[in-house]
Amino acid sequence: MRSESSVDPAVERLASEVIGAAIEVHKELGPGMPERSYLLALCYELELRRIPFRCEVPVVISYKGKEVGEARIDILVADMLVLELKAVDAISPVHKAQCLKYLRLLKLQLGLVINFNVERLADGIKRVIHSP
């Protein structure tokens, strides 16, 4: 847990549990698989651990009050934590910006961008914090 964080302690605990689940998936599958495989495996691991989640949650995109599209959050955990999963060479600023946008739209504090295409999963996790 991060004592310097402004994130609610319950959300921090949830993030730690989710990171443990993601590490388990990465241990089993390793790097190099399609993103969808990691998504389905992590959903299953969360289910096994009885961590509540919703997969591929739709979010409306508006422009000046007009609905112009829809995006999908990979996984929303306990309606408190946004997960964006990747299987890329490196997490880029646009990946973090995408996660931050979802946090703003949902008025949530914490998101995790998790890149499974790394040798050590800890190197592929980036926290994204929003102060609603």
Nearest to 102 by CA among 54, 56, 59, 64: 59
Question: What average pLDDT score do residues 29-36 get?
Answer: 96
Is the pLDDT at 3 greater than 50? The verdict is: no
Compute the distance between CA of residue 132 and CA of residue 126 in angstroms, rounded to an integer: 19
pLDDT value at position 1? 41
Question: What average pLDDT score do residues 55-66 get?
Answer: 94
- Average pLDDT of every residue of the chain: 94
Compute the distance between CA of residue 71 and CA of residue 50 in angstroms, rounded to an integer: 26
pTM of structure:
0.91
pLDDT above 70 covers a percentage of the chain that reads 95
pLDDT in tens, 69-93: 999 999 999 999 999 999 999 999 9
Compute the distance between CA of residue 1 and CA of residue 117 in angstroms, rounded to an integer: 25
